[in-house]
Amino acid sequence: MSKITAIGLLSGGLDSSLACKLIQDQGVDVKAINFYTGFCTTDFRRQVNRKKAKGKVYSNESLQSAAALKVEIEYIDISATYIQDVLIKPKHGYGSAMNPCLDCRGYMLARARKYMEEAGAQFVFTGEVLGQRPMSQYRKALDVVAEESGLGRLLVRPLSAKLLPPTIPEEKGWIDREKLGAISGRSRKEQYKLAEEIGVSVYSQPAGGCCSLADVSYGKKFRDLLNHSEEEIIPSLDDVILLKVGRHFRPSERFKVVVGRDEVENKFLERYADEKRAMFTSIDVVGPVTIAEGRLDSTELETAAAITARYADHEGAETVRIKYEYGENSGVIDAHPLEPKQIDTWRIC
């Protein structure tokens, strides 16, 4: 057989970078892939131009890692199908929030299998570590996603390989099992040690994952969205991205209000003003951008304006002039700022 080619899922984190290097060092030609679902928090911070301390902009860790490892990487957008195929009714259920970890992993690996076949590669590998994540990396879960993705024994976990049954690439001699790892558990001491030994220095620092769906507050907002959507309507990517921004309130079953918390969020929310969503801004004082969606009659417009006034710098004024824009309609409402106690009863998160 000509040179062996493997497809690696590369997030840019420590584990996936190490896995990539272990396979590379065995003379295997590695092609990396990274999936965009729309739910990565780092991707979102980059999209809204949130900056780290000292003015550094959030970078794409997978691209940085691929460059350091000198491997070709393809960034694959699966967001168009991810919500319907994975999120709405996951076969294996959700984690502590709205994270369908097993279904998500199986879905990505199935796409990786398809990519492997199209690229003429021989196997797929990941940076998964046995026992590291409670919902998706215990032994049975690793077996389930391997089987349901269609990869079966063509899926290699280089960091934990010696603790798992031999795979086809090991049996056929494409890779040497003795040169793979026997790492397990949540501690990353062994990974840091291995990184020094094999020369991996470019990777993002572990931070508990970057998936919005595993965040409890985001999960509350996503569940609220599903509970107030018509059964046959699948939320759009715009709908779920909006959940990442601002304070969210549901004053009634009929409509929802989102209030920006800072200048970055205000600018981002402005993009959502259209014929379906009304935008509210204060006229005479500094205030937030507010978006309201749902059934918006005069009562709802007045309520959204009053919420906007609550977060404006009104300095105790009895009323605040709030402008609203809704499709081709616009107007000004003299809004009475609502009391925090009243607003808090409507807060989703």
Q: What is the pLDDT of residues 191-200, one digit of tens each?
A: 999 999 999 9
Give percent of the chain with pLDDT exceeding 90. Answer: 81
Confidence band of 53 (pLDDT split at 50, 70, 90) = very low
Residue 229 lies in a domain: no
Residues 160, 254: one domain?
no
State how far the Cα of 47 lies from the Cα of 64, in Å rounded to an integer: 17
User: Which whole number is the average pLDDT over 291-304?
Assistant: 96
pLDDT at 269: 96
Tell me if 238 sits within 8 A of 293, measured CB to CB: no
**What's the rounded Cα separation, in Å, for the pair 332 and 325?**
9
Residue 209 has what pLDDT?
Answer: 57
**What is the arithmetic mean of pLDDT over 204-224?**
83
Residue 80: the pLDDT is 87
- Provide the number of structural domains found in the chain: 2
Residue 78 has a pLDDT of 95
Average pLDDT over residues 121-128: 98
Q: Which pLDDT value is given to residue 54?
A: 47
Residue 162 and residue 251 share a domain: no
Contact 281, 308 (CB under 8 A): yes
Which structure tokens are listed for 68? 């350091």
From the CB of residue 250, how many other CB atoms can be counted at a distance below 10 Å?
17
**Residues 131, 256: one domain?**
no
Does 214 map to a domain?
no
pTM of the model: 0.88
* φ, ψ at 303 (rounded to 5°): -65, -45
Residues 181 and 52 in one domain: yes
User: Residue range 121-138: average pLDDT?
Assistant: 92
Among 126, 13, 119, which Cα is nearest to 64's?
Answer: 13
Q: Do 157 and 281 belong to one domain?
A: no
Domain end position, chosen among 163, 183, 198: 198
- Judge if 176 and 39 occupy the same domain: yes
Residue that wins the pLDDT comparison between 204 and 93: 93
Range of the domain at 25: 5-198
In a domain, 139, yes or no: yes
In the predicted model, is pLDDT for residue 233 greater than 90? no
Stretch among 2-11, 111-120, 222-231, 319-328 having the lowest mean pLDDT: 222-231
Using the predicted structure, report yes or no on whether residue 105 has a pLDDT greater than 60: yes
- Which CATH number does the domain housing residue 13 bear? 3.40.50.620
**Residue 133 counted as domain residue:** yes
278-296, pLDDT tens digit by residue?
A: 999 999 999 999 999 999 9
